[in-house]
């Protein structure tokens, strides 16, 4: 009897040990997300559909980026926005407006303003750093979201200057893509929510082609971000990621 009990207990301990080893840590999950979402260079053509309280409007643009420090965006439609350009270099952001033929730097409180009336702020545009660089993480559970089993990962910023001090992410267990995210202030107030869908395999990575952003402090139905075309690890002309490109 003692031998049987010992065998059963040993078996259970082995199973528990195996289960503990097979579940990744919070940091490992963030590493996998970063590998899916980040790249050395990237080019995409996209649309923002802004679902406002007075109706919808669509803005189209093309964007080039290098790592998480350089990015250039040019708006192509509608006509009144065509030719507007945005440049990010390190921690600085500039906007060129063809209507006024002026370039202004977005700094201080201006970073909290909405981009083109959308649910994204200029802070959101600036924050393209790898999650593992700015957050500590912990798996707090599992849950199904849109019929997909997900890890729930809680993130806490390791820098007081980060716009969102806390995040909660629902991460697809198999593809390691975030499917839902909640972004919080340090006080615990929910500021924004995102939902990601249309997940496609592009070469060795999984990437969402549709992201819905909702500013919880604004009225309206949120902003839908649709990626029509995307290329990773491409060669970008050096001048395109400089202030000269704004004009």
d(CA 126, CA 84): 17
The reported pLDDT for the residue numbered 19 is 45
Backbone φ and ψ of 15, nearest 5°: -65, -45
Alpha carbon 103 to its chain centroid, in Å, reads 27
Q: 181, 171 in Cβ contact below 8 A?
A: no
Domains of the chain from N-terminus onward: 39-246 (2.50.20.10)
Is the bond into 33 cis (omega within 30 degrees of 0)? no
The reported pLDDT for the residue numbered 15 is 45
The reported pLDDT for the residue numbered 75 is 97
d(CA 15, CA 6): 14
d(CA 206, CA 188): 31
The reported pLDDT for the residue numbered 17 is 46
Q: 14, 38 in Cβ contact below 8 A?
A: no
Low-confidence ranges of the chain (pLDDT < 50): 1-6, 8, 11, 14-20
Q: What is the DSSP string of 134-171?
A: HEEEEEEEEEEETTEEEEEEEEEESSTT-S-SEEEEEE
Q: What is the DSSP string of 79-119?
A: GGGTT-EEEEETTEEEEEETTTTEEEE--GGGGGSBSTTSS
Q: What is the pTM assigned to this prediction? A: 0.85
The reported pLDDT for the residue numbered 216 is 95
State the chain's mean pLDDT as an integer: 90
The reported pLDDT for the residue numbered 18 is 43
């Amino acid at each position: 009897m003692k031998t049987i009990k010992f065998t059963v207990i040993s078996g259970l301990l082995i199973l528990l040990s195996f289960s503990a080893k097979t579940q990744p840590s919070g940091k490992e999950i963030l590493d996998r997300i970063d590998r899916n979402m980040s790249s050395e260079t990237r080019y995409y053509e996209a649309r923002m559909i802004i679902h406002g309280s007075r109706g919808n409007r669509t803005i189209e643009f093309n964007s080039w980026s290098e790592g998480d420090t350089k990015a250039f965006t040019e708006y192509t439609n509608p006509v009144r926005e065509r030719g507007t350009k945005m440049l990010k270099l390190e921690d600085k952001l500039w906007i060129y407006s063809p209507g006024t033929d002026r370039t202004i730097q977005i700094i201080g409180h201006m970073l909290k303003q909405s981009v083109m009336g959308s649910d994204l702020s200029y802070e959101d545009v600036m924050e393209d750093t790898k999650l593992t660089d700015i957050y500590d993480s912990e798996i707090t559970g599992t849950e199904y979201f849109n019929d997909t089993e997900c890890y729930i990962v809680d993130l806490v910023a390791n820098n007081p200057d980060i716009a969102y001090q806390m995040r909660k992410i629902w991460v697809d267990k198999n593809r390691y893509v975030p499917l839902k995210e909640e972004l919080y202030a340090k006080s615990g107030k929910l500021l924004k929510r995102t939902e990601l869908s249309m997940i496609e395999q592009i070469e060795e990575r999984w990437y969402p082609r549709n992201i819905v952003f909702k500013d919880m402090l604004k009225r309206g139905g949120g902003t839908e971000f649709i990626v029509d075309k995307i290329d990773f690890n491409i060669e970008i002309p050096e001048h395109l990621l400089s202030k000269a490109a704004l004009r």
